[in-house]
Chains A and B, each alone.
Chain A
Amino acid sequence: MLLHYSVSHLLESEGGPLAQVDARVKVLLSLLLLLLMALVPAGDLERVRRLASVVLVVVVVARVSLKALILRLLPLLPFAVLVLFIPFLHGGESLWRWGWLEITQPGLLRAQEVGMRMGAMGLTMAVLSATTPPGVVLQALRVLKVPGPLVETLAFMFRYLFLMIDEGQRMQRAWRGRGGEWSFSSLAQQSLGSLLALLFLRTYGRGERVYLAMLSRGYTQDRGKVELGEIPRTQWVGGAAVALSLVVIRYVP
Chain B
Amino acid sequence: MHIPDGFIADPFIWGGCSVLSLLTLGLASRQVGTLWQERAPLLPAMTGAFLFAAQMFNFPVAGGTSGHLLGGLLACVLLGGWTGMLVTALVLTVQALLFQDGGVTALGANVFNMAVVGGGGAYLLYTRLAALSGSAGFRRAMLVLSGFVGVQAAAFLAGLEIGIGGVVPTHTALLAMSTVHLPIGLAEGVATAAIVGALQRLRPDLLMGAEPAVVPARVWALAGAGVMALAGLAVLFASSLPDGLEHVAEQLNFSSRAFAALPAPFPDYQLHEESPMWQKLLISAVGLVVVSGCMLVVQRLVTSMRRSS
Are A and B a genuine interacting pair, yes or no?
Answer: yes
Residues of A within 8 A of B (CB): 1-5, 7, 10, 30-31, 34-35, 37-39, 42, 72-73, 75-76, 79, 82, 85-86, 89-90, 110, 114, 116-122, 125-126, 129, 134, 137-138, 141, 147, 149-150, 152-154, 156-161, 163-165, 168, 182-184, 187-188, 190, 192-194, 196-201, 203-204, 207-208, 211
Whether A125 lies near B100 (C-beta < 8 A) is yes
Q: How far is the CB of A15 from chain B (nearest CB, A)?
A: 18
Selected contact of A153 from candidates B14, B90, B165, B206, CB within 8 Å = B90
Q: Which B residues are in CB contact (< 8 Å) with A7? A: 56, 99
* Residues B6 and A114 in contact, CB atoms below 8 Å apart: yes
Known: A200-B195, A201-B199, A207-B46. A114 touches B105 (CB 8 A): no
A182-B59 contact, Cβ under 8 Å, with A75-B101, A164-B52, A200-B199: yes
- Which residue of chain B is the closest to A115 with respect to CB atoms? B6
Assess the A153–B45 pair: CB atoms within 8 A. yes
Tell me the bound Cα distance from A4 to B2 in angstroms: 12
- The reply to whether the CB of B193 lies closer than 8 angstroms to some CB of chain A is yes
Cβ of B41 and Cβ of A156 under 8 Å apart? yes
Cα(A35)–Cα(B5), bound, Å: 10
Tally of B interface residues using CB under 8 Å: 68
Task: Give the nearest-CB partner of B192 in chain A.
Answer: A193
- Scan B82-107; emit 1 where CB is below 8 A from any A CB, else 0: 00000100110110111111111100
Would you give 12 A-B contacts (Cβ < 8 Å), ordered by A?
A34-B103, A85-B168, A117-B6, A119-B6, A147-B29, A154-B94, A157-B52, A160-B49, A161-B49, A184-B190, A196-B194, A211-B42
Q: Which residue of A lies closest to B6 (CB)?
A: A117
Whether B206 and A154, one on each chain, are in contact in the complex, defined by CB atoms closer than 8 angstroms, is no
- Prevailing SS type, chain A contact patch: helix
Q: Any chain A CB within 8 A of the CB of B62?
A: yes
**New contact pairs (9) apart from A156-B49, A187-B191, A200-B199, CB-CB < 8 Å:** A3-B57, A5-B101, A75-B4, A75-B101, A75-B102, A114-B6, A118-B6, A120-B6, A192-B194
For B58, the chain A residues whose CB sits under 8 A away are 1-4
- In the complex, the answer to whether B4 meets A118 with C-beta atoms within 8 Å is yes
One digit per residue, 1 when the CB lies within 8 angstroms of any chain A CB and 0 when it does not, for chain B 56-89 equals: 1111111000101000000000000000000100
User: When the two chains form their complex, are residues B11 and A161 in contact, meaning their CB atoms are under 8 A apart?
Assistant: no
Residue with the greatest number of chain A CB neighbours at <10 A, chosen from B6, B10, B98, B99: B6
The answer, among B93, B102, B103, B199, for a CB contact under 8 Å with A154, is: B93
What does the 1/0 interface line of B211-248 toward A look like (CB < 8 Å)? 00000000000000000000000000000000000000
The answer to whether A10 and B99 touch across the interface, beta carbons within 8 angstroms, is: yes
Chain A hits for B42, CB < 8 A? 156, 207-208, 211
Chain A residues positioned under 8 Å from B104 (CB to CB): 30-31, 34, 121, 125
